[in-house]
Amino acid sequence: MTGADRIRVANAQGFWGDSLEAPLLQMRQGPIDYLTLDYLAEVTMSILQKQRARDGNAGYARDFVEMIGRGACDIVERGIKVVANAGGVHPIACAEATALALQRAGISKGLKIGVVLGDDILPRLDELLERGVPLSNMDTGEPLSAIRSRVQSANVYLGAAPVAEALDQGAQIVITGRCADAALTLGPAIHEFGWRMDDWTRLAAGTVAGHAIECGTQSTGGNCQYDWESIPDFDNIGYPIAEIGRTGDVVITKHEGTGGRVNVPGVTEQLLYEIGDPSTYITPDVIADFTSIDLTQDGLDRVRLSGVGGRPATDFYKVSISYSSGFRAIGLLVYGWPDAARKARKAEQILRARLNHLGLTFDAIHAEYIGANACHGDALSGPFHPDTPEVALRVGVRGNDRKAVERFTREIAPLALNGPPVVTYVGGRPKVEEVVAYWPALIPKSEVSWNVVMREVDA
């Protein structure tokens, strides 16, 4: 516990691939105490696992390390603490690379990096299965044994306690692997205010604060449908900041002078983003109730968030398991006016027939006509319009036979010459990708033990 009554927790990365400048701007455009960075979407862990399989020193968010190098002065001079799930499937390697980046920046001797370990249960899977922990798929109920041989990664969503522990031990940078997104925000609040781990109402408030900012500018005007055209200065959009008070009061805001907008409709959109039952938002630390939340405008670009309900956490952690599930490839051909969509559909029919002639079978063949039906399907998009300027045929296949998928990739380009007219071939031959599927499961908390390793930066 520190003496602060209020902290400013900033988010500067809503997913891996978000703005490279945002972390630096969040530190330079106004006061913040914590910089949180969320790199791990559901799909990200499988990508990192592939990278680690190719290179034993990879498997974490390299963008993070580059950012630390560029922002080392800001972090040290302003005393900003950084909390990031950049560790991916290899937090130790991430911490080593981060320490090296700080060393190279030449100003960071003695700075402590806290590494949260214990989320990776891949080496323990067989032991867990033998002991009767089924790790069944939460959606389908199937036991993990059905896909055990194809598992590529298995990571527990850890909570805020390890983050708080690393901060308690003096870490200025905390690197985690898989953890609940909101834990990046809740951890600092627990550390600063000494909130007890059974103070459900405050833990829920900190969790919802984290949820509100974890997707970057989605709470400051980005990807916001409400009156989107009047949102100012997207080019200089401010990333979100959660002001969290000792008693659990929360204001969502952004730095003065930045673009974007923080208002009740926009924050409401983000609160509802990627949630299930709003009365039962389950995290490792608490069950938060969104249905009692009040949002009020509290000055320009400030939204006050109150009334979050909290109930005791469950006895389980969620586990994110990825497994190899065949191959896919997706090709693109663009057809021009007139009757662009009809040409695209004809080309699809020809392609399907040719795949048949070749005796190729797939688990799925799927075609969409970008410009006519790709986002919302035929039923909602309505009939094809003959005057649509152009339509892209986007056609993909998925299956277990890599050779069949590869053969499919050779059948796209020929259509430019031997199919319907007014066509242009873009992007080159499609690449065959390995499909990594996602298997959500639960594990009793008693089966998981996390720990924090401290790494001090050398001179």
Partner 1 sequence: MPRVCLLEVAHARSGDKGDCANIGLIALRPELYPLLVEQVTAGRVKEHFRELCHGPVERFELPKLHALNFLLHQSLDGGGTVSLRTDAQGKTYSAALLRMEIDVP
Candidates 59-67, 155-163, 188-196, 371-379: pick the segment binding partner 1 (CB under 8 A): 371-379
* Contacting partner 1 within 284-343 (CB under 8 A): 290-295, 307, 322, 325, 328, 330
List the Cα angle 199/201/206 in 5-degree steps.
95
Instruction: State the alpha helices, DSSP H only, in 106-214.
Output: 125-130, 161-168, 183-193, 200-213
Report in angstroms the alpha-carbon separations of 403 from 25, 255, 354: 47, 53, 16
Smallest gap from Cβ 294 to partner 1, in A, equals: 6
Smallest gap from Cβ 230 to partner 1, in A, equals: 13
Smallest gap from Cβ 189 to partner 1, in A, equals: 23
Candidates 17-25, 204-212, 271-279, 420-428: pick the segment binding partner 1 (CB under 8 A): 271-279
Tokens in use for 253? 């805001």
* Residue 435 contacts partner 1 per CB under 8 A: yes
Who contacts 187 (Cβ-Cβ below 8 Å, separation ≥6)? Answer: 83, 160, 161, 162, 163, 164, 166, 167, 174
* Residue 230 contacts partner 1 per CB under 8 A: no
User: Using CA atoms in the order 262, 265, 269, 272, what is the torsion angle rounded to 10 degrees?
Assistant: 110
Nearer to partner 1, 19 or 381 (CB): 381
* Residue 43 contacts partner 1 per CB under 8 A: yes
Smallest gap from Cβ 290 to partner 1, in A, equals: 6
Report in angstroms the alpha-carbon separations of 414 from 58, 372, 407: 39, 23, 12
* Residue 122 contacts partner 1 per CB under 8 A: no
Q: Which of 270, 355, 391, 457 binds partner 1 (CB under 8 A)?
A: 270
Kindly report the backbone phi and psi dihedral angles of residue 237, in degrees, each rounded to the nearest multiple of 5, phi listed first: -65, 135
Nearer to partner 1, 4 or 147 (CB): 147
Q: Which of 271, 321, 355, 372 binds partner 1 (CB under 8 A)?
A: 271
Nearer to partner 1, 225 or 446 (CB): 225
Tokens in use for 459? 């001179």
Q: Tell me if 40 sits within 8 A of 89, measured CB to CB.
A: no
Of 260, 211, 241, 255, the C-alpha closest to 6 is: 241
Instruction: Give the residues across from 365 on adjacent strands.
Output: 397
* Residue 366 contacts partner 1 per CB under 8 A: yes
* Residue 436 contacts partner 1 per CB under 8 A: yes
Candidates 3-11, 97-105, 374-382, 451-459: pick the segment binding partner 1 (CB under 8 A): 374-382
* Residue 142 contacts partner 1 per CB under 8 A: no
* Residue 440 contacts partner 1 per CB under 8 A: yes
Of 409, 382, 385, the C-alpha closest to 397 is: 409
Q: Tell me if 348 sits within 8 A of 365, measured CB to CB.
A: no
The helix (H) or strand (E) run that includes residue 442 is strand 433-444
Q: Which of 3, 131, 132, 379 binds partner 1 (CB under 8 A)?
A: 379
Q: Tell me if 27 sits within 8 A of 239, measured CB to CB.
A: no
* Residue 225 contacts partner 1 per CB under 8 A: yes
Smallest gap from Cβ 7 to partner 1, in A, equals: 25
Residues at the interface with partner 1 (CB under 8 A)? 41-43, 46, 139, 218, 223-226, 265, 268-279, 290-295, 307, 322, 325, 328, 330, 364, 366, 368, 370, 374-380, 394, 396-398, 435-438, 440
